[in-house]
Amino acid sequence: MVETNLIKQKFKSAIRRGTGETHLLIQNHPQIDFSGEIIKACVKNFAYDGQCEDSRGKYLFELINLSGREGKIKQGVLKALLKPQKDTWTLTQLFDLAKMFAQQGDTEARQVIYDAYVHNPIWGSDWAGTSEITELDGIEGLKFIAEEFGKRLEKNPEDWQDDDLINKFQKENPEVDVWTQLDISAEQNRFIKIYTDAVRENIVRNSERVKTPEPVYKNIVEEVLLKQSRTWFFNGKLKRPELDSIAQQLLTERKKSNIEKLLRIFTRHKFPLDQKMLFDLARKDPVKNRRIVTSAIKALNLFKSKKIRQFALEQITIGKHPTFFVELLIENYKKGDHKLLSLLVADSNKAVELEGLIIDITNIYHTNKTSDCREPLEALYDKHSCSICRKIAVKILKENNALSERIKNEIRFDCNEDTRELYE
C-alpha cells in the first residue's frame, strides 16, 4: 500500500507538470488505477501558462487510452464540459478532449461539444469550441457557429465579430468558397445574415481607420518619456550621444514612472556612465519598485565584472529576494555555481519564482557550457509545470551532454511536441 501511494504521488506530480513519466508509470504498473488523477488533469488545465503553451489534449488522451478506464474518464470530461467554466484554457482543453472522443465516433461527445458551445461561453472567449466544431463538421459546423453568433449579436448589437474565424477556415479549407456558402445560407437564415453583415461592416471600419501620425519629438529624452510603445528601442541602435543624454537625465530624474522609462533603455544598451547608480537602483525594495529593480539588474547583466559577480553572490546568499539576481551570473558565472543554483531551486516552491529561475538558469548554461548544469536543471524539470521552459531545459541539458537516461526516456511522451522531438 505504501509503495502504491508513492507511485500515485509520482504520477500526480508528473501529470500536473505534463512530463512523460506518466506514460512510463502506467505501463510499468498496470495494476494501479490512475484514473482519478487523469480526470483531475483533464478537468483543470495545470499548465503554467495555458495561453502560451500548446494544448495538452493529445497527451491526456494518450493517458486515457492507456488507463483502461476510458469510459469513466470520458464521463468526467463531458460532465465538466457541460458545466460553466471560469478558466478559458481549461475550457479549450475540455473541448479538445471531447473532440477526440467524437472523432472516434462517440455521438454523445459530439453533442456535448455543441451544447457546451451554445450554453456555456466565457465572456471574451466566445471563440472557444469553434475550432473543434469546424474540425468535426466542416462548413456545416461553421454555419452553426455563424448562426449562434448572429443570435448573440441580435441580443447584444454592441458585440464585435471580425473575419478571423472565416479567414482561418478558408485557409484550412481552400477548396471551399466560404463567403459564398455563408451568403447562400444567409438567404434562408436571418441569424447567419446578422453575423455576415456585422463581419462585413467591421471589415469596412478597419479599412477606413486612419493611423495616427507619429509625433515629432524635441530630443531623444522626450522621445523616451513620451513615446507610447514600450519596446520601440529593442531593434534600434541608439548613438552614444543619445545614450549619454538619457543617462544624464536618469541621474537627476525624481519621478518614478520616468525613471522606469529611462532605465528600460539600458536593458538593451550598455549604460555609459558610472555603474554606481545601477547598483543603487538594484538594491531598492522590489516589492515597491519591481520594474526599477528588474531593469537595473538587466542593465548590470550587460556587463561582466568581479564587482557585479560579488554583488550577485551577496544578494543570492543573504539578500531577501535572491531569485531576482540569478541572471547576473549569465555573464559572471564560475565553475561550482551550480551548487548555489540548486539550493535556490530547492528553496523555491512558488510557480512564479520557478519560472524566473528556469529562464535565468537555462540562459546561464546556454552561455556557459558545462555538464554541471544537470543538477539545477533536473531539479527544475522535476518541479515546474511550464512545458515551454522544460523544453528549453532539456535542450540545454543535451547541448551540455548532461541529459540523464531517466529524462531521455520520459521526453518521448512529454506534453510538448517539440520536447518529444528532442528524443533520439
Mean pLDDT, 10 residues at a time, over the chain (424 residues)? 88 97 96 96 96 94 96 97 95 98 97 95 91 97 97 91 94 96 96 96 88 87 87 81 95 95 94 96 93 96 96 93 95 96 93 93 96 96 95 96 96 96 89
Q: Is residue 374 domain-resident?
A: yes
Same structural domain, 50 and 151: yes
Domain membership flag for residue 215: no
The answer to whether residues 270 and 311 belong to one domain is yes
Q: Answer whether 101's CB lies under 8 Å from 71's CB.
A: no
Please indicate, yes or no, if residue 293 is contained in any of the structural domains. Answer: yes
Residue 217 lies in a domain: no
Residues 104 and 34 in one domain: yes
Overall domain count for the chain: 2
| Residue 38 sits in the same domain as residue 167 | yes
Helix, strand, or coil (residue 29):
coil
In a shared domain, residues 190 and 332: no
- 201 and 232 belong to one structural domain: no
pTM over 0.75: yes
For residues 203-231, b (16+ Cβ closer than 10 Å) or e, as one string?
Answer: eeeeeeeeeeeeeeeeebbebbbeeeeee
Domain end among 173, 208, 243: 208
Domain that holds residue 329: 223-420
**Which of 208, 233, 264 lies at the terminal end of a domain, its last residue?**
208
Looking at the fold, whether 306 and 378 belong to one and the same domain comes out as yes
Clarify whether residues 307 and 194 are in a common domain: no
Residue where a domain stops, chosen among 208, 238, 253 = 208
Per DSSP, the chain holds a count of helices (H) and strands (E) of 23, 0
